[in-house]
Structure formats: structure tokens, C-alpha cells
Structure 1
Amino acid sequence: MEYHNKHPIRLLALEHSPNDVERWVQLFRHTGFPLRVEYIASLEMLEQALKRQEWDAVISVEETPTFNAHQILRTFRHKNLDIPVIVTLNQYQPNIVSKWLDAGARDAIPANSEKHILHAVVRECSSLEGRRSLQSEQRKLIEANKRCQLLLNNAPEAIAYMHYGMHVDANQAYIELLGYDKADDLAGLSLIDLVTGKSKDAIKQKLTQFQQGKSSPPFECQLSHNDGQIISASIQLSEARYDDEPCIQVTIHPAIIPTLHQPLHEQSPLTPRDHMFQKAEELLKKASRTTLIWLQIDDYDSVRKSTDINGVLSIQHSISKLIREHLPETMSCHYGDDVFLILDTIMNEDKVSEKLSQLQSLIGNHLFGSDHETLTVSTSIGFATQQDSNDLNSLISFAQTAYDLCQQDKDSHIKQYSRTEEVRLKALDGDIQARIEQALSDETFQISFQPVINVTGTGEKQHYETMIHIPTTGKETINIHRCMDAGELSTLMPLVDRWTLRQSVLELTKKQKKGEIPRLIIPLSQWSIQDPKLVSYLSNLLKASRIPADSIILQLQESVALQQLKGVVELEKDIQKIGCLLSIDDFQGTSSALRLLQHLNLYLVQLDAQFTKTLGKKHTKQLEDILNTLGDNNTHCVATNIINSQTIAHLWQLGIEFAKGDYISHPSNTMDYDFE
């Protein structure tokens, strides 16, 4: 099973709750596939997700109270979107599978067949990438053909294409050279018909002897003008293709070139892109305040479809000219097909929006095109102002983000970059990173505690696991340590970890005042391992609160501990000095995982949920070996995801000390579970 695309698989998931999405996150990460997943629960959430970016696949349950897979498929058909949908079934039934395939799903698979679902998603994503690549190349081919046609039409040389000696196309220079009005006038005429005198025999011989793959040297001949005049010229034959058919390109160089009415394109008034960037970096070093403006043509795809390349070039050139005339003291360039960048270092900050509004009106009221075609366009503008900044790339990124924010605001087509506004809108759209950043700023995290009971009935300490959630637009919350895109949270998670430690110590202080001191298992992200001040921060919290240090159990994912073992060893030594304990989560008991016990003094490990699912069916011998090794190292063991009393009985027989799960108790915002 291979997936060659460089970017992560971008997956939409319709599940009964955001927490159910966790299984797909875990499945793909455990098998080494990069994944970006987003939970959807309604048509509105799907619409917003489709607006934000391109998606590679959808995993969907058949139906939830608010949304279903049929609505997803209908939406994709209506929007003509090529996104594969995998429907997960409660159980396998051939008639149900056939129903979903007929409805347009790429596959319908029982929800418990996780490996099958993984293979189906990877298969469909690889196939989709092939289709998208083909479409991209086809678009490039169409654009290349358009550019070639434009070059042909504007070429000063007289050029025509022949198929079996007959004209199939000719440019304006060729048509005017021979005195015709349009290319259709040459239809049915052969090159031999245009040659006079002795030249006829020579051209016949040249056409007969012409070989594909080679070009003939130019030869002199005389051509007949439409008004009867004789034109002395040289003709060169070369290989070409027209409408995907092999043909001959004929290039005529007349001895005396008549005056042709060739349009002269003015040079763009904007600074060339590379030159502007070079000058901009020099200006940024000197300027105390810089404004970067991102101006983009609205609905550019529709504009392109409504005109030809000449029309598009006319629009681009005219906008360039309007920018230069209205903002003469700025530096600007044509950044992309529909994007223009403007750099200003002297405009009064209070006047920027006013000036841009005037420019926007000028462009909106301007009539583009030619005498035969009139075009109008509108634009949207984002801009960013920075004090003492010399990072041009950051300015461009901020200005583009401001433009993106402008697209989401129906009331404004000019927007200044604001980090707070960017985070707020992204959070409303369901972006996990933005929600975390907003929760850090507003202190809106929700902390909960799930009891970890002692199955054997021994031991004095009560245990809870700390969980940090962020609220969603509905009643559900998301556990941020389970649903996160690792690559994007490296700067945020250390701050979340410190917030979690601070709140956990505060809650323990409240319990201590009641004469109770439970132990808290607190998740720690991989980025805090390298934080040199984390342990001293925790030590200061403990000193200020005066709670026992062994009440804090820092917990790391097994995969993180294996990947950063050297850093974890140093962290364990440091927390041991202040009296705190260490735990490993999602412990799978492989040989590499068990080797962690040789390097780390672990207080406990939490077994991977797979062991609980198969308890009494398989893995029993493997589990017994794991428990024996843990016992030899004085490491306690926690069974997770307990769903019934029979499972607890199995744990007692195996000698597993601790257990947690929703059957025992759901997470609560207080530590008030009755352990008796």
C-alpha cells in the first residue's frame, strides 16, 4: 500500500461526534500516513469546508441525526466535485453495499474493517491524484495552445499549416501577404495553387520529398498575390501538428514585406516581479512602516471563460496602468494571473483604506476590452501594515490572508490584516489550530477528569486522568491531545501544556483543602520535551501550592517516547529530581516499546485500546508477557476503554491493577468520583 503524494491526506469525516473521528486519526498515523482530518456534522459545515480548501476523500457513516451520506453525495454531484466518498456500515450486507455504490459512493465497508477502509481511502486518493494530475496537464495544454495561437496570430512572419498540401490555418501576416481577407478564403487552396511559373515544379518536388522529423532549407520562389501581383519570397517547410494531426508548417519570408497592421502592445507600467522584490527588500531595511497590498480580480475563472487571451491581457494591462496612475509613489508588480502586489512606505496609514477604495472604484468603473468587446471586472483587496519589518514574505502572507478574510466578509471588499480576526473566523469554520489559539487567548479551555480505578482493591491513592477540551459550535467538545495536526501545533501545544499544569495544580489544591490528594495523570505534548524551562515551571507551581510532587504524573504517547527517547530520558531525570512521576499512553507492548523500561523509570503505562477490544479472544499470551515485564520493573498497568463488567472481570483474572473507561465513569469537570 503506497501513497506517493507529498501533502497529507485531506479527509472529511461524518461521524456521530467529533471524538469518533479519533479512530481515523489513530489508524492513519499508526500506519504512517500523514493525515489532516476535519469533522463535519451538517450541510453547512460541509459547505464551509469545501470553500476553505480542496479535499481528497470523505469517510461517512450512513446517517446521523443532523446529516447523512446521501446529502454529501448529492452535494458533490450538484457542485460537480470529484471527491471519493467511503461509506461505513454497521454490518456487511451485499444489497446495502450495492445501494451505496449505485448512489455514487466509491466503496461501502463495515465500520469495524479498519484495514479495508484504510486501503480504500489510500486507493481512492491515489486514483484521485492521477485524475487531478491529468486535468491539470489538460488545462496546461489548452493554455499552451492558446498562447501558441496568440503568438501565431501576432507573429511578424507569414505562417500557414498544410495537410496533404492544402491550407488548414494561417496567421494574419500570411493572409495579408497574399492579399486575402480571412483564413477561410484560403480553404481549398493548395500551396501549389499560390506558386507561379517554374516555381510550381520546385514546390511539388519539395512537398513530395518532405520527410517528417526534418525541416527543409529555405528555397526561393514566386507567389501570386490575390490581385494578380507577383511576390518574390523564400519558403521554408518544417514539421508541425495541427489538431493533433501531423502536418507541414509553411513559413514565407517575402523579399519586400508589405506594410502590415500589427497591434503594438505597450510595455506594462508595473515593475517586473523579480526586480520589485529586490527593490522591496532594500526599501524594507530603510522604512519604519510598510504596507503591502494584495489586489485580486474577483471570479477570475468566469472572466477567462468570457473572453480570449487578448481580452485577459487587456484587463491585466489596464489594471496595471490604473494602479500606476492612481498610486504613483508606490511600487507594484503583476504577481500572478489575477493578482497584483503594491508596496507602499510613505502613504499615511489613515489614508490607505481611502486610497484603495478609490482604486477599487476606478477598476470597477473601467471598460476593458476592444471596440468589438467590452468587459468589466471587480476586485477585492487585502493589505497588511507592519512597523519596522524587513520580512517581505511575511508581509505578502499577511496581505493574502487579509484578502482571504475579505472573501468571507460579504459586507467588505477591502480588509486590513488582523491576527485576532483571522483566528476568530478560522475558529468559527472549525479550524482546530485557530480554536486552540483562541482558547488560549480567551481562557476558554474545558478541563475534565476521568477516574482511574484500582481493580484489585489495593492501594491508597486515587487516580484521575486530566483531559483538555475545546468547545465546538454545538454541545460537543474536542480533546485536543487526540484530534490535532502535529505539524501545525508546535508553537501552541507547549502553551497548552503549561495551562494544563497550572489548572491541574489549582484543582489539586482545592482537593488538598478537603483533605484529599489524588494523583493526576497529565498529558504532555511532544514539543514540551525540549522545553528547558518546563520542569522549573512545574517546580515553582508545586512550591507555591505545597501539594506533594508525586501527585503529578506526566504522560507521553508511546510513539513520542520512542521517537525522542534521548530527550525523554533527560526529562524523566529532571522530573524525578522534583519528585514527579512519568507515564506512557497507548502502550502497545512491542519489543521496542518494552525497551523503554530499560531506559525510563515509569510509574505506569496505559495499554492501547486494542487489548481491551480483544480481551478474552486473542493477544492473551502477549498481554501476559507484557504484564510480567511491567511487574518486573515495578510499573503499574492501566486498561483503557472499559465498556462492560465482564471486561473488568477479565482484568482481575489477568492481574491488571487499574482501569478506566466510560462504563466506569465519563470524564467530569470535578474530581468527585466515589472510589469506595
Structure 2
Amino acid sequence: MTEEVDPLNILAVDDDPGTVREIESLLSDARLRFHFADTSNAFSRILEAEPVDLAIVHVHSGSESLLDPLSRQLRSSEPPIALIAMVSPDAEAALAAAHLGVNGCMRIDDQRSVARVIQERVALIRENRSQRDALRQSSDIHERYNLLLESSREAIAYLHEGLHIYANPSYLELFGYADFEELEGFSILDLLSAADGTTDLKQLLKSLSRGELPEEAMELKAHRADGDEFIASVEFSPARYDGEACTQIMIRERVEAGDNAELQQEIEKLRSHDILTGLLNRQAFIRQLQDELASPPEGRHMAVLLVALDEHSRLQEKIGAAATDLLIRQTAGVFGEAIDDAMLPSRLSDHVLAARIWFEERSEAESLATRIIETFSGRVLEIRDKSPTVTASVGLAVGGSQLFTADELLAQSESALREAQRTGGNSYMRYRPSTGAADAGDAAQWTETLRHALNNEDFRLVRLPITSMEDDDFLISEFETRMRVEGSDEIIMPATFRPAAAQSGLATELDRDLIQNLIRWLGNHHEEKEDMLVPLSGQSLVDDEFVVELQNLIDDETIDGRRLILGFQEPDVRESVRELQRLISRLGARGVRFALLDVTPDAKVDLVLKNVDIDFIKLGGDVSAALRNNEVARQALESLAAAAASHKIQVIAPQVENTTDLATLWQFGITLVQDDFVRDEEE
């Protein structure tokens, strides 16, 4: 990914705006913003309103009155703004430009020269800006590192040729010194000695001066200022202090934790909590999520929320690195006002906080996200001598029947947080998978999209009527689900997402979702008594657990088996004839009927019809096109209809476009039809 470059503001001073437009077109750089001025008042207003990076002036006989005030204002700016002169092809203009002391000069009638000089100056400005940013970042990092040293609970000191040149407060406290002045200049030999009498510390000191450091921690005897002694684990590592090479020493007092239960608890708390905020740290938060997801509460789902202040980098630059810890602590304090400890408040990274909630309804998680936003919105923080007003963004990842791992939920909430910040902040964004990669056939993206859709009830039930040309009272409703892409009007049809579901092993889950949608529909339509055709996947056909679930729904009369027609794709049935026989034997006694779906006119269904008792065949493809343009297809369709009639199987034709096609189907004995020509589908 290319690094985003901040735009540069260019002040162009000329009495002809057309010249400025020509230069802008010539450079063709969207990262350059031109501001036109033709009077001294105009460029003064621009310099006051905009952080101008470069000025260009057209020097000619009519611009004398602008040159001096422009030059003075540019030189008095902080930092001074570079000035490039475009001169008319005469000696007077060149002399006037030289008198100004410009940073670049070119003839206005030499467009290549104009472009080259401006581009070179722009490149130099960007390089200088980059260097300033790097120096500022380096300074911030150095200052932040010093702050971390000062606040660390680890006892850390820096040595030069064996002498102490720095020690943090924890180090001073460990050895009993009030301040560094008491320790400054002491040799490490004054504080440490061999614990077992075999370690030669003088030789160690010589090795340290040569930059030869022990690879493993050493066990040594340490001496406090009051003469007390303790056994210490001592680690050495290379470091730099004030730009000079030195040796870092870290000392830990050895304690038998098993002898002190209270100390053991304190150690565990230190391991699992962030020192600065007191919140759970990232590792502990993830570990807790993993443990809870292994045995989720019945009927409840997990949501993960990530929270970050908006425009954090700009806020950080405003308050300075020295106030970073104070900013983080105050942010955590505001965060704590919106949530409770049961939600596992955590510090996930430098300035990102996290929480999790178990919910029954998704609105509970969304209400929490809203409460966090409202708690932060317009809050005034007190950071030393600064009082910034802040807002925050929240990224929300919602689990559901499809369980995600802790890492997946975190990745989704991080993506949602970035999107919330990208769209302006002060809001929450619930994670929505991208459909772009799914449309392109990305299997992993399809899996994520389908799981997200199952969790968020994005599959909507549609009802497609099937009627008879012979019986006005005949009605079968085929039920299927279509996926609505959240946040848009896009609808994804089963022909698109079902193959992906089969490939990802989610086809049976989609069938379960279809059955649940059907049950809800039945609960709201008690007066409807038509038969129901429900298409299922080949994976469900061979899934004993799914079959038992379906049988139980029929046995407890949640679904009327006498009205139920289960449909399976003809290619799936050819691969699982025995399984279909067992299913028919099991559910046929409960009144359930069966259908072959998407059968093409030339399909070899004879063997299937000989071995299983099918009630319906539903044709696939564009039957109308076959009837109009293909005599072979017409004959195949006629043969299929005859074979179905011999087994007392009714054939259903889709995609019937006109009365001529209806007449042809009638001739073949096909009287059941489904399409908009007959009745609009109902959702």
C-alpha cells in the first residue's frame, strides 16, 4: 500500500487566473492545491487562512506593486515560504526577480522549465517535511521510552564501563536509595557480588566494557544501601543513553512465590493487567474471550467493541509525548464510565481500549456502543496545561449462531473501528464483510460473508407461488431465502451463494436458517394452508443430525408434514440415492413429499425414478428459450414429461413467459407453472 502524502498548498500570484490553471493542468498532481491571488489583499487573506507551503509569482511590468509586499510577508512567515518567479521574456522582469531574492526562476513561456522547477521545489519541501516528521517522531519515541523507564516496575539501570549513569525509580527503590545522586558513579561491584563464590565479577566488568554480555540471566547477591542482602536475577543487554553506547542492567529480586499466596495473586494480576490503566492487557483479554467462547451461555452471543479517540495522532502532537500516559489514563477513566467490570474492560494496544458483552438481542450491543460514543462526545480532558475536547469511535463485531474465534472477532472489530474513523469518527460502526472478494470467488471471503449473514439475519424469506392450469384452487408455495447485503440494496440470489455455502461446508446451516424463517412465517400466517416446497442442500440430505431435527419439528407439529415438500437438486440426488431412500422412508410416513429440482430436459433421471418415489420434478434453466429455439430440447422435454407421467410424477415448469409457452407445456402434460406471468412472488 502506498504511503498517503499530505497535500501542499501553493499560492499563485498573477493578474491572469488562466496562467494558474495552465500550471495546475501542466503539473497534474492532485496533491497540490493552488490558491489564486491577484491583489495584495487577496494573498494576505490566503496567507492568514491557509498554511501555504510554496508561492509562485508572475513577474512582469504590471506586477511591480505586488512584489515587495509579497516578498516581505513570505520572509516573515514561520518558517519562511519559498518563492518561485515566472518571468516574462525581457531583461526588466529577470532583474526584478533577482532583486526579490527568489528561490527559483524560469521563463513563463518555457512550460517544461516551469514544471521542472516547481516539481523540484515541491520534492524538496516534501523531503524537508518528511525529515521534520522523522525527527519529531524520534524525539517523541525517545521521550516516551524515558517515560516508560521512569514508570516501569522493573528495576532498570544503565552502566558505562561498569559505573551507573542512570537508574529508574524502581531500581532506586529496590536498593534503598532516595534519588540517583546517591547512586551516581557507583560501580556495579558496589551493589552486586557472587552468590555462590564462583562468579568472577571483575572479569564480568571487563567483559561488559568490551561489549561482551552474558546471554543468560545471572544469579547474584545484591546489597541494599542499608546493608540488607537479597538474591537477584540479573540480565544484561546493549543499550544507548543520550546517544552513547552503554549496557542496560535489569534486576529482579528472587522470591519463592509458592510460600506466599498473596504474592502469587499479585504476580498474576501484574501478568494480566496493564500497569498504566489497571485494565486487562491484550493477552489476558484474548485468553478470557477464548475461554468464554469454548462454553458460551445458552441463548446468548458475544460482541467485541474496540474504542479509540478520534484524530489521536493530532491530539498526541498537540499535548506532546510527555503527556501520553496521562492521556491514556484519562481515556481509560472515561471508558470506565460507560461500561462495568463484567464487560472485561481492557487496553488492547497503545491507545485502543476494548470490552466484550454477552447479549440476547443485537440491539443490546449497539446500545452499549452508542453509550460509549455519547460518554466521550465533547468530553474535555485535563492534560497538564491543555484542555482538549475529544470524541471517540467504536468498532463493533457481533457473534451469533456461527461462532467466531477470539482472533476473528478482534480482527472484525478492528476493521469496523478503522471504518468508523475513516468516515469521520464520533460514531460506531458494526462490522460488515466486504462482498467484493466474495463476488470475485474468494472462498475465504465467501465463508466470512455467509457466517456474518447467518449471525445478523441477513437471509430474507421469499415465497414463489406455483399454480395449476387445470385447477384454480391448486397452490404450492416454494420458499427460499435471498441474502440482503447490509447497508445497500443489493440482493444475492441462491444460485450465487449456495454453491459457495456448499464449498465452505455451510450449506446445512443455511438450510437450518431457511427452516427457522419458514417457522416464523407460519407463525404469522395461520390462515395460509397451501403446500410448501422447501429446497434443501445435498449436505443436509446426508446429515443425520439435521434429519432428526426436521423430524422432531414435524412430530411436534411445528411444521405440518402433510403440507411439506422437500426438494433436492437432481445432481445431489444422483450421488446420494440411498440416503434419499432412507429419508423418504423416514419422513414419507409423516406425509412429507419429495421433489427433484433443477432438472434439465436432457437429464438422465430414469435410474433415479426407478429407485426413489418422487412426487414432483421441477425443471431448471430457461424452458421458454428451449421451447422456442431448440427442437432437440423440445423432444427431450416431451420425453421427460412422459417418463414423469408414467411414474405419476407432476412436473413444474419455471420461467414461463407467454401464453404460447403455456399451450406447449399443456400439450406435454405439464400443467404446473411458476413465474411472474402467473403470480408475483411475495416476500
Give the TM interval when normalised to the shorter protein: 0.3 to 0.5
* Bigger CA radius of gyration: 2
